[in-house]
Amino acid sequence: MKNHTMRNVLLASLLLALGTAGWTSSLVAGNAQTNNTVAHPSGFSEATNLFLTAAPSVVQYTGVSFTNGSLTVNLSGEVANAGDVSVYYPSGERIETIHFPVTDQRTQHLSYTYTIKNVKYPAAVGTHVFTAKSGRVNGTKLEATASVRVNAPPTVTITTPAANAAYAASTTSITLSATVNDPDAGDTFTVSFVVKNAAYTAVFGPQTITANNGTFSANWTNGLTAGRYTFEVTATDNHGASTVVDSHLVIVGLTSLLSDKGTEISDGDNDANTKSYSIPCEYENTITVNAVFVPSDVTATELANIWQITGGDGTSLTQRTIDGGEPGKYIIECTLGNVTKKVTVYAHILILSFGNNNPLIVGGVANAQHQKIITATVTPPIPGVTVTFSIVPPAGKTTTGKNIPAQLSSGNNAVALDENGVCTVTLTSSDLEERLRINAVVSDDGNTDYVTPNQVAWHKYDFDYEWLSGTELALGFTIKTDAGTGITGHLITYEINKVWYDFGNDYEEVDQQDWDDYVMLYDGETQSNQAYTDQNGRASLTAQMLDDTVYFEYTVYDENCWLAE
């Protein structure tokens, strides 16, 4: 008995001495979990077991790359004559053959372990089986397997909102939803949502889904302010594989709708969403009305389904233009969600005309008092405005005293426009031959001047005429600025006041209804009493008379505000 025990100890020592870096052996009491077992025929209670273990047994799918793992072979029990153990890839390709010691021990339970490192696991998703096979043990081959699972992460599809979706700032709720699918049968997963930007974060979930696929949805109702946001969906399965998908959305706020020209005027409605502007009508003056948004970089594509703009010229979704050279009332209106803004632009002209109550007679004796009814017409009519008139005398003279006694009938000279945009004032003066200037300014009801003063005057003017024949006379009239520059394009009217004819005894005044029988005015070949000033500021007509005994008296004035008599 003593010799038998000593033999067992020496054998165990020998087996340990034969170990390599790849495997170890030990004396083990009891049985391990059996993978493949062969009983010894002699009736010993010990059995021979072959185990194969993979570590890790679950790896995450990484695409086309491989994951390195390790395979551990364990041979235990009565291992006499176990011989070699070969380990194989799932494809059947051999990885390595392990050479275990050969012994005839029958009374002790031995365990040999060998680890193969840096084993390349298959890259494909699914379960892959590695195999270990031994030589014959007591006439029977042993075989063990180890499974490795390449785990696929969940797939995520955002269903709402659509990519780069746009919402109006008046929106009160946005639906967030995503579908999630896990290709690995039996997996469960959790889903969470995050809506965020630099200043804001909202988290929804997580929610656990026990089936292989499902839909998660939430309503975003708090913190919906204008700006750009990222909507992020994270799905994580029960093996730790995660998928993160995001999309972008924008919430658009309409800050203002503004005209780039003109002066803002009161429209009387106390509504911040409506604005009115007035601007003098000028040739080649383009007025642009711009919408201002938050965020400022919002694009036309993002606006396409949530925004409307009407009026003006052009097709841009963010601005419209107005031809400021054409007088008129122009309305630009836009809508974003439940917010509507409107801009009204009055591209207007101010025309002053002068009625001849008591005209100054050219070539005759001036009356002691001269009156002119000055009519101001603003086109288009602008609600709530007045026209303020004032007299501007020539340099060095005043409008009071004996110098230039002149006055306007309107008291404070501020006269409200009627619904047609018209108002009148009467000027009385004893000396209209002086170059008086009437200054007319359009103001709103808050006395804010928003039109450059429209200065009108009896300006510098010159009459001339030339006899072309005994019955034909060329009439000329020239208007100039104070600097002596001719004023072009003004419509000049020659108005006949009296006609005399020598009936044989003496000159007698002809009745007005018969004037055309004695004198006619022509602009070229066309009968007309009007002509436009040329580049030198001169307008001319031809007077044709019945004979050389006709005399007539006429007044000249400018329909375009510059008046001369």
Q: Say if residue 83's pLDDT is above 50.
A: yes
What does residue 534 show for φ and ψ, rounded to 5 degrees?
A: -85, -170
- Please state the pTM of the whole predicted model: 0.61
| Residue 449 shares a structural domain with residue 362 | yes
| Residue 33 shares a structural domain with residue 128 | yes
* Least confident segment among 191-205, 393-407, 529-543: 393-407
* Least confident segment among 194-208, 293-307, 476-490: 476-490
Which pLDDT score is estimated for 177? 96
Which pLDDT score is estimated for 104? 55
Cβ count near 511 (within 10 Å): 9
The answer to the question of residue 318 being in a domain is no
Q: Say if residue 437's pLDDT is above 70.
A: no
Q: How many domains does the chain contain in total?
A: 4
- Whole-Å CA distances, 312 to 316, 450, 517: 10, 22, 52
The answer to the question of residue 38 being in a domain is yes
pLDDT band at 405 (very low <50, low <70, confident <90, very high): low
Domain at 114, CATH number: 2.60.40.2470
Angle at 492 between CA 486 and CA 498, to 5 degrees: 130
Instruction: Choose between 432 and 22: higher pLDDT.
Output: 432
pLDDT digits (tens, 9 = 90+) for 120-170: 999 888 899 999 998 665 566 789 999 999 988 899 999 999 999 999 999
The domain boundary, picked from 457, 474, 500, lies at: 457
Distance CA 543, CA 521 (A): 5
What is the distance of C-alpha 265 from the center of its chain?
27
Q: Average per-residue pLDDT in the chain?
A: 79
Which pLDDT score is estimated for 457? 47
Cβ count near 443 (within 10 Å): 17
Domain at 363, CATH number: 2.60.40
The answer to the question of residue 351 being in a domain is no
| Residue 11 shares a structural domain with residue 145 | yes
| Residue 9 shares a structural domain with residue 97 | yes
pLDDT digits (tens, 9 = 90+) for 333-370: 999 999 999 999 998 888 777 665 444 333 333 444 56
For residues 36-47, average pLDDT: 40
Q: Say if residue 426's pLDDT is above 60.
A: yes
| Residue 15 shares a structural domain with residue 95 | yes
The answer to the question of residue 300 being in a domain is no
| Residue 88 shares a structural domain with residue 51 | yes
- Whole-Å CA distances, 159 to 169, 304, 433, 449: 22, 20, 83, 57
Domain at 207, CATH number: 2.60.40.3880
Cβ count near 497 (within 10 Å): 15
For residues 231-248, average pLDDT: 94
DSSP 32-49: PPPSSEEE-TT--S-EEE
pLDDT digits (tens, 9 = 90+) for 254-276: 999 999 988 888 777 788 899 99
Which pLDDT score is estimated for 358? 43
* Least confident segment among 134-148, 169-183, 295-309: 134-148
pLDDT band at 102 (very low <50, low <70, confident <90, very high): low
For residues 22-49, average pLDDT: 39
Which pLDDT score is estimated for 139? 60
Distance CA 89, CA 281 (A): 89
The answer to the question of residue 303 being in a domain is no
Q: Which two tokens stand for residue 524?
A: 């070229």
The answer to the question of residue 321 being in a domain is no
Question: 92: which residues sit within 8 A by CB, 6+ positions away?
Answer: none
pLDDT digits (tens, 9 = 90+) for 457-505: 445 567 788 888 889 999 998 877 656 788 788 788 888 889 999 887 7
Which pLDDT score is estimated for 372? 72
Q: Say if residue 509's pLDDT is above 80.
A: yes
| Residue 59 shares a structural domain with residue 23 | yes
Nearest CA-CA partner of 562 in 451, 442, 477, 479: 479
The DSSP letter of residue 563 is B
Which pLDDT score is estimated for 275? 92
The domain boundary, picked from 405, 435, 457, lies at: 457
pLDDT digits (tens, 9 = 90+) for 350-359: 877 766 544 4
For residues 372-381, average pLDDT: 84
pLDDT band at 35 (very low <50, low <70, confident <90, very high): very low
Which pLDDT score is estimated for 361? 35
Which pLDDT score is estimated for 199? 93
The DSSP letter of residue 525 is T
| Residue 452 shares a structural domain with residue 509 | no
The domain boundary, picked from 222, 252, 282, lies at: 252
| Residue 171 shares a structural domain with residue 107 | no
For residues 61-75, average pLDDT: 84
| Residue 11 shares a structural domain with residue 143 | yes
pLDDT band at 391 (very low <50, low <70, confident <90, very high): confident
Instruction: Choose between 109 and 348: higher pLDDT.
Output: 348
pLDDT band at 435 (very low <50, low <70, confident <90, very high): low
The answer to the question of residue 31 being in a domain is yes
Instruction: Choose between 485 and 119: higher pLDDT.
Output: 119
| Residue 102 shares a structural domain with residue 241 | no
Q: Which two tokens stand for residue 35?
A: 């993978």
Domain enclosing residue 122, as ranges: 2-151
Instruction: Choose between 548 and 33: higher pLDDT.
Output: 548
| Residue 425 shares a structural domain with residue 408 | yes
What is the distance of C-alpha 102 from the center of its chain?
83
Angle at 19 between CA 14 and CA 24, to 5 degrees: 110
pLDDT band at 559 (very low <50, low <70, confident <90, very high): low
The answer to the question of residue 212 being in a domain is yes
